[in-house]
Amino acid sequence: MANPNVGQTVASTWKAVVGTKPEDNIFDDYWLLDRLSKGKAFLSVNGGRTVNGAVEYAVNSTVKSYSDTETLDTTRIDVFDEFEYAWKEYAGTVVMSELERAKNQGTGGKFALLPAKLANLQSTMRKVLNEGIFSDGTGNSSKDIGGLQHIVASSPTSGTVGGINRATFSFWRNQQSSGAQSSSAFDNLRSTMRSVYNSCASGVNSKQPTYFVTTQTVYEGYESLLTANEQGTSQTPEQGDAGFKNSYLTFKGIPGGYDADCPSGLLYFLNTDNLKLAYQKGYWMKGFPSVDPANQTVEVFKVMTIANLISNNPRRPGAITAIT
């Protein structure tokens, strides 16, 4: 039986083994991070103390019917405000001692230890970032990313997001509804998905969610509700809400997936027109030149990310909570 405590130098330098690199026994696929870190959802920002922008939040109340020479309303109306998100910093290190390097050189090494340790560092960074994307931002003394539990909150009538108080400004609240069962498992899930989806889209096709993400349990619960007809093209209007496409499930034509870091009992509808993974230009998984401390025979490598999850229109995403 393998001993998980033999140490990395021994593991990388003993006799011949199967494979030329260590087998990954710890890292998952990060469904949401993989999608937010590419395409239009991945927002490069060139400098700046914070991430900010303008938001339109009110109508011009001076517009009304009037008669002939009636005096017009010349009240100055404020219709714009500004959101502001702080940058969040993540960093990690790899230390390689000269003794490790010596033992791992030449034919004595099972695999190249340093590249494997650096790959592990990057994978760990991805893991921690994905966890942050689902978080409420309060972890590690509020140094973490303000993730979905912050922006697409289970209680959207309170809290401050991007510098705007949701208790005061209802336009800044995400959609939310409970998916708790009435009599059997997941019996309210599809109807709740339909309601929250439509609220996110607000009747505008261009504002419809991009995809949904949930837990494996909820994903499989949703899958169990689908009929054989929903896997094909012959569908009733009711069945047309859902179905399969290739290897993933869909709802109203948008793809969905599950992520190991999604909190239990939650499903999110997300719109990448308004939800962005913003990062400082040049500081996404940035590697630095190694450093040799003056008083140690080691080499230190660093990787850093400066980023945050932001939304300029939090009423477009939605959360289904308490799914049972």
Provide the pLDDT for residue 234: 39
The mean pLDDT value for 244-263 works out to 85
The mean pLDDT value for 169-191 works out to 95
The mean pLDDT value for 176-187 works out to 94
The mean pLDDT value for 55-84 works out to 94
The mean pLDDT value for 162-191 works out to 95
Provide the pLDDT for residue 203: 73
Provide the pLDDT for residue 85: 98
Q: Is the pLDDT of residue 16 over 50?
A: no
Q: pLDDT of 109-155, one tens digit each?
A: 667 888 889 999 999 999 999 999 999 999 999 999 999 999 999 99
Q: CA-CA distances (angstroms) from residue 140 to 125, 135, 136, 163, 279?
A: 15, 11, 11, 20, 20
Which one has a higher pLDDT value, 76 or 11? 76
Which one has a higher pLDDT value, 35 or 226? 35
Q: pLDDT of 70-86, one tens digit each?
A: 999 999 999 999 999 99
CA distance linking residue 151 with residue 137, whole number of Å: 10
Q: pLDDT of 199-241, one tens digit each?
A: 999 876 678 999 999 999 999 999 999 876 565 433 444 444 6
Provide the pLDDT for residue 244: 55
Q: Is the pLDDT of residue 246 over 60?
A: no
Q: Report domain 28-56+81-321's class.
A: alpha beta
The mean pLDDT value for 238-260 works out to 75
Provide the pLDDT for residue 235: 41
Residues 6+ apart with CB under 8 A from 239: 227, 229, 230
Provide the pLDDT for residue 112: 82
Q: How confident is the model at residue 50 (pLDDT cuts 50, 70, 90)?
A: very high
Q: Is the pLDDT of residue 167 over 50?
A: yes
Domain extent listing, the chain:
28-56+81-321
Which one has a higher pLDDT value, 3 or 232? 3
